[in-house]
Amino acid sequence: MSEKLPRLGKGLGALIPDLEPHVITSVSTINIELIRPNRFQPRRLFDQDKLLELSESIKENGLIQPLVVVKIDDTGYELIAGERRLEACKLAGLTDVPIYVREVSEKERLILSIVENVQREDLTPIEEAKAYQQLAEDFQLTHLDIAKIMGKDRATITNALRLLKLSDTIQGFIEAKQISPGHARAILSVAENLQEKFTKEIINHQLSVRRAEEMAKSYSGLDTNPVYSPQKPTLPKAKILENKYLDAIEAKITNIVRAKVKIVEKENAGGDIIISFKDQDHLEEILNIINRELNTI
């Protein structure tokens, strides 16, 4: 008996009522060569280090979560969800993989692929924006509709789509992580003919998002109005003392956990304590130390 699964995404069924039910027709193991890539896959780039880590895990433990596919002919299947797992399985040298077979329409296949990737945060900012654009154009969805499907704010969707107004060159810098979406929003406020020059200024001088936003307000592209001042701002005495205090706290925590520690202040209040570790054994050692310290309190 087939099992009907809950729809993926918040409000997906209500917004697109003609979607067919997600039905698992079978769970089995097939030759990996029979699985074709998803034609609607919005992701184009993979983090190679993470892909190798997953590949090693699959070699050690096998593929725990089956791939989700749709049968397209007597001998072939097309992937719906699990692109990264499929690539890792190939790296691991697997010849057979476990699969779920679903009965879905072509329209639903596209939506499932986009929603699965975005919800798992596997896409780059540009890929995510293009995925939203595809939902908007192919299914005539508003930004609010897409926000409900993704469980995000409407402003988040709108800001993501604005990235596509930038030139291919600037989008490439975002893909390469040379600038962030925050930088991109500052770049969008500059005249279009100056955006690429402004982007290169940001990259060359490693401007923060806040600094880029400040400079964007009056940027003209002229050398007489540089976006970067090499002089470091003079910190007030209280701020210097605060920085020394944080440095001392970092050193103290580092001595306790025997790992590199960084305290990052937030703009308004509070902050984060970042503890770096080399591998899983090192992480477990840090956790044991923290547990011992807590037990002494």
User: Alpha carbon 209 to chain centroid distance?
Assistant: 19
Rg (CA), the chain: 24
Pairing between strand 67-71 and 77-81? antiparallel
Q: Which helix (H) or strand (E) holds 236?
A: none
Exposure class string for 1-37: b at 16+ Cβ within 10 A, else e:
eeeeeebbbbebeebbeebeebeeeeeeebebeebee
Whether 20 is a known active-site residue: answer no
Catalytic residue chosen out of the listed positions 3, 83, 250, 284: 83
- Residue ranges of E strands in the chain: 3-4, 23-31, 35-36, 67-71, 77-81, 96-103, 261-265, 271-275
* C-alpha–C-alpha distance, residues 188 and 49, integer Å: 32
Give dist(CA 27, CA 5) in Å, integer: 14
Enzyme catalytic residues: 83
